[in-house]
Structure 1
């Protein structure tokens, strides 16, 4: 089993917490797949807003 890179985890947590104002504990305790789904959704929202 490979370990998820700590730097990438920090980036994902910061990205989600910044955009949705969710607490650190809530975001960091999500499983990897769920966190990545939220990152992708935020990116889609930002793309639509910046279009």
Structure 2
């Protein structure tokens, strides 16, 4: 019997306006690497994967 072919994964397009002219405004996570961005909050930046947190200075 022939093996079934696996479907190729589609590349997801960004849903939000994070990218302007091919660059991101958010910083990448130092622990996870360049694929994961830090979320901007009022007083901190947080990684959604590893929960790395940076506090913003006033």
Instruction: State the TM-score, normalized to the length of structure 1.
Output: 0.31
Higher percent of residues as helix:
1
Higher-Rg member (1/2): 2
